[in-house]
């Protein structure tokens, strides 16, 4: 099936222009909608393959590119995960729900996209009822430190990025973008301190239990640094919802490889055996949890 890509430019409340991509069939726009967004170091490309897969299954997809990423404008001021959640994601949802009148949507995120979506929903609970399901690929914010070695590794990464002023994502082959230290500092501190608190002291961890949307967390056995399986487990458990599910993609669990941080969402193997897990989760939620909120 041919896929149509349409760029929609939106402006946030703090006057930053962000890119929202509509991915759909050129013949007919489906009334079944999926919102996708990437994490740090990335842009729409990491979501595009799975978005096309969903379109071929009868959905319309919307991919948000954060400020300073992809086709969104360069940020003049420092930003962090809370900025993305409370400005960029909020702007996208306001457009989809208020302007386009889409009242029911599913969410698929990668890495920091899931963190920012969580922040958005906890700060704007009025949108919870519009989301039918969430799939989070490789997402955690406070559980990467499980050994002294983990602690030293993240502390060293924070120190080096502080001296450089950024994390060299391109050079380290983490993605197509570098990230400012001001952005990554939040993630470093959350993991080093084992908490999930905002700049104003708001405790996201304590409030995650109030998000009742069914969430599928997919992580890779080979992801040993950004979102190790223990960290993903801690993150999904904090929502305290019996309907949620964690899937660890490993050879031991019957998958073709021990997936790393990006290959769970962007690889040929993922297209064969992982993407369907998200599709099944979305379809299940549409049938079983229409009034979860």
174-187 pLDDT per residue, tens: 999 999 999 999 99
Q: If we measure between CA atoms, which residue out of 137, 100, 103 comes closest to residue 117?
A: 137
Q: Report pLDDT for 28.
A: 76
Residue 121 near residue 158 (C-beta atoms within 8 A): no
Beta bridge partners of 136: 109, 217
**Dist CA 284 CA 280 (whole Å):** 6
Give the confidence band of 290 by pLDDT, cuts at 50, 70, 90.
Answer: low
Count Cβ atoms within 10 A of the Cβ of residue 226 and give its class: 0-12 exposed, 13-18 middle, 19 or more buried: buried
Give the confidence band of 293 by pLDDT, cuts at 50, 70, 90.
Answer: very low
Domain tally, the chain: 1
Residue 249 has pLDDT above 90, yes or no: yes
Asked if residue 105 belongs to a domain, the reply is yes
Give the confidence band of 289 by pLDDT, cuts at 50, 70, 90.
Answer: low
**Dist CA 245 CA 176 (whole Å):** 30
Instruction: Give the tens place of pLDDT for each residue, 47-104.
Output: 999 999 999 999 999 999 999 999 999 988 999 999 999 999 999 999 999 999 999 9
Instruction: Give the tens place of pLDDT for each residue, 14-51.
Output: 999 999 999 999 887 778 999 999 999 999 999 999 99
**Dist CA 64 CA 142 (whole Å):** 24
In this prediction, what percent of the chain has a pLDDT beyond 90?
92
Asked if residue 169 belongs to a domain, the reply is no
In this prediction, what percent of the chain has a pLDDT beyond 70?
98
Q: Report pLDDT for 14.
A: 96
Dihedral, CA of residue 45, residue 47, residue 51 and residue 54, to nearest 10: 150
Asked if residue 148 belongs to a domain, the reply is no
Residue 121's alpha-carbon distances to 131, 179, 183, 273, in angstroms, are: 10, 24, 20, 29
Asked if residue 147 belongs to a domain, the reply is no
| Host domain of residue 36 | 4-142+198-288
Asked if residue 172 belongs to a domain, the reply is no
Average pLDDT over residues 280-286: 93
Q: Report pLDDT for 192.
A: 98
Residue 168 has pLDDT above 90, yes or no: yes
Asked if residue 35 belongs to a domain, the reply is yes
Asked if residue 154 belongs to a domain, the reply is no
Give the confidence band of 1 by pLDDT, cuts at 50, 70, 90.
Answer: confident
CATH of the domain at 18: 3.40.50.1820
Q: What is the pTM of this model?
A: 0.96
Average pLDDT over residues 109-122: 98
């Amino acid at each position: 099936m041919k896929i149509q890509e349409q760029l929609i430019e939106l402006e946030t409340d703090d006057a930053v222009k962000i890119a929202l991509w509509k991915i759909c069939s050129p013949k007919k726009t489906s009334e079944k909608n999926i919102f996708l967004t990437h994490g740090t170091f990335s842009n729409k490309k990491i979501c595009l393959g799975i978005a096309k897969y969903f379109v071929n299954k009868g959905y319309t997809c919307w991919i948000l590119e954060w400020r300073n990423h992809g086709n969104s404008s360069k940020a003049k001021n420092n930003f962090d995960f809370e900025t993305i959640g409370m400005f960029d994601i909020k702007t996208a949802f306001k457009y989809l729900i208020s302007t386009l009148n889409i009242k029911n949507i599913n969410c698929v995120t990668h890495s920091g996209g899931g963190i920012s979506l969580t922040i958005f929903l906890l700060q704007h609970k009025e949108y919870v009822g519009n989301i039918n399901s969430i799939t989070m690929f490789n997402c955690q914010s406070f559980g990467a430190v499980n050994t002294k070695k983990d602690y030293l590794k993240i502390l060293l990464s924070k120190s080096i990025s502080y001296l450089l002023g950024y994390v060299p994502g391109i050079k380290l082959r983490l993605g197509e973008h570098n990230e400012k230290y001001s952005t990554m500092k939040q993630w470093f501190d959350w993991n080093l301190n084992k908490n999930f608190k905002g700049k104003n002291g708001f405790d996201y961890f304590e409030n995650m239990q109030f998000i009742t949307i069914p969430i599928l967390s997919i992580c890779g056995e080979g992801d040993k640094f950004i979102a190790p399986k223990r960290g993903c487990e801690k993150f999904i458990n904090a929502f305290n919802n019996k309907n949620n599910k964690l899937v660890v993609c490993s050879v031991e669990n019957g998958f073709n490889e021990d997936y790393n941080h990006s290959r769970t969402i962007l690889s040929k193997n993922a297209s064969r055996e992982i993407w369907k897990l998200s599709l099944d989760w979305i379809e299940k939620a549409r049938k079983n949890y229409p009034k979860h909120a």
